[in-house]
Amino acid sequence: MRNRLVSLLLLCFTFAGTQVQAKSEYSYAFTPEASAVYQDIMRLELDLAETGIRSLRATDPRNLVAYHLESYIDFFRLYLSGDERLDGQLAERFDRRIVALEGGDETSPYYNYALAEARLHRSLTDLRFERHLAAFRNLNRAYKNLRDNAERFPDFLPTYKDLGLLHAAVGSIPPQFKWGVELFSSLTGTIAGGRAELRRALQDKDGPFYLETRVLNAFMELHLADRPDLAYRSITALNLKPAKNNLHCFILASVLMHNDRNGEALVLLERQRRGGTEADFPYLDFMLGQAKLRNLNPQARAHFQSFLLRYPGRHFREEALQKIAWSYLLEGNLPRYHRAMAEIEGGSRAGGDESAVREAAAAHAPHLGLLRARLLFDGGYFLRARAELDAINLATLSPDEKLEYRYRTGRVLGGLKDYAGALSFYEHTITTGRNNPAYYACNAALQAGLLEEERANYTTAKKYFQTCLEISPAEYRTGLHMLAKAGLDRLSGK
């Protein structure tokens, strides 16, 4: 975290290096020119947007909207590339941006809103690069900006877009991380409260951020409210253009893949724009590789290889190598599987990367039938996954493989709506795997809770969510515990 003294010294300068005028001379106006730049950003035409911002500063130098839009550009550049060297270069832009925005008109609702957005964008970048203390501090400052804005300008609806996300996110934080929130921030909130605030923000249908708000609302339903069906209906109603806009492609493909519509997502991802002027989006190839692998197509590895060539960041790399290794395993090429896994070195604490490192350290390939069932289930091909499981001779499985078999059978039966069968296998997985380092028992408890929540058996659902929080696997623990905490938060009062 940069020293506050740096920011105080920078009060003498704007981004371009000229002197800052008196506070009263600066304002915020989302003009048609600013709207055009914002649309360029949302098409990932980031270089074009940079040109637009320079034009805004030249023609309307006292309008601080340029700094707000610049924050979006830096966020997308860093998130799409994962490039920590670029992050170092852009850190000074963030400091100068905050100083400039703090020189705005404090009587405008955009004063706190633009500051909060800049700090939220930065905190998300901090989280991506695993700077958790810095992330908490920026989140806390953003939260104070938003809370102040809601008190002073309660009818300024864009505030509730960000405030709703923060309140919902805090509501999903697992107990073991609550100390960090309480120590480094004043954040509070629940998922129910956050959902209500985002719905309030959606009333601003003529505002410049309406489409962004609808997308964020859908992703909240998808990831925190466990309503993938509602997210799908919300996103498909937006008339997105995935063949022309790679951000739209990502949004729609993500929702499709969480709704067991892998085939549709695969078609979209195959049609992604390539070779245009928009910012490179290598993660789309990672997703395309996932979609093909989930249909047991070993040619998926070409897309993971493309991702590795184009992505300078350290996240998702180990997982991509693992998926390349799996593609060889699907072809029965065990030596190439081991060669691919030998390239895994670590370096990221993301759940998928940690799982890949654990598999590489184990030095033995996963059971092919269980792997095929896993991939098919993840793609929503439940009948095919069931056939793979039925073909496995249980007598040939090791104890760990038998635990995985029970877990995957429960998942597949749940996908086939055989809830009694799924719960039976989940219970057996929890009982036999509670102390196993694999994630099966922890996720079995989570999935049992989600199943019972869907059937309105709320007391039983709470029991399963609590069981999930009590199990600490060596992989995926944080993500699973967040989902369990989100479940408990949704069921509070029921």
Per-residue pLDDT tens digits for 158-190: 999 999 998 888 766 666 555 556 555 667 777
In this prediction, residue 11 carries a pLDDT of: 29
The CA distance from 376 to 491, in Å, is 31
Decide: 252 and 271 in contact? Cβ < 8 Å.
no
Region for residue 3 given its phi and psi (left: phi exceeds 0; alpha: psi -120 to 50; beta: otherwise) = beta
Please choose, from the candidates 218, 195, 194, 214, the residue with its C-alpha nearest in 3D space to the C-alpha of residue 204. 214
Cα angle: 312, vertex 315, 316; to 5 degrees: 105
In this prediction, residue 5 carries a pLDDT of: 33
In this prediction, residue 192 carries a pLDDT of: 85
Angle (deg, nearest 10), helices 32-42 and 65-81: 0
Hunting for tokens 């199990």 — which residue is that? 471
User: Residue 469 forms beta bridges with which residues?
Assistant: none
Q: What is the DSSP letter of 279?
A: P
| Residues comprising the chain, all counted | 494
Cα angle: 49, vertex 54, 59; to 5 degrees: 120
In this prediction, residue 391 carries a pLDDT of: 97
The CA distance from 217 to 471, in Å, is 30
Consecutive H or E run containing 224: none
Domain boundaries along the sequence of the chain: 1-153, 282-365, 392-494
Angle (deg, nearest 10), helices 382-390 and 368-378: 170
In this prediction, residue 10 carries a pLDDT of: 30
In this prediction, residue 73 carries a pLDDT of: 97
Q: Which residues of the chain have pLDDT under 70?
A: 1-24, 171-186, 349, 351
Quote the tokens at residue 84: 């920590």
Supply φ then ψ for residue 259, to 5 degrees.
-120, 25
The CA distance from 250 to 419, in Å, is 32
Beta carbons within 8 Å of 34's beta carbon, 6+ residues apart: 56, 63, 65, 66, 69
Calculate the alpha carbon distances from 424 to 227, 252, 385, 444 in Å.
24, 34, 18, 10
In this prediction, residue 304 carries a pLDDT of: 98
Consecutive H or E run containing 396: none
Task: Give 392-494's CATH code, choosing from 1.10.3720.10, 1.20.1090.10, 1.25.40.10, 3.40.50.300.
Answer: 1.25.40.10
Cα Rg, the chain, nearest whole Å: 24
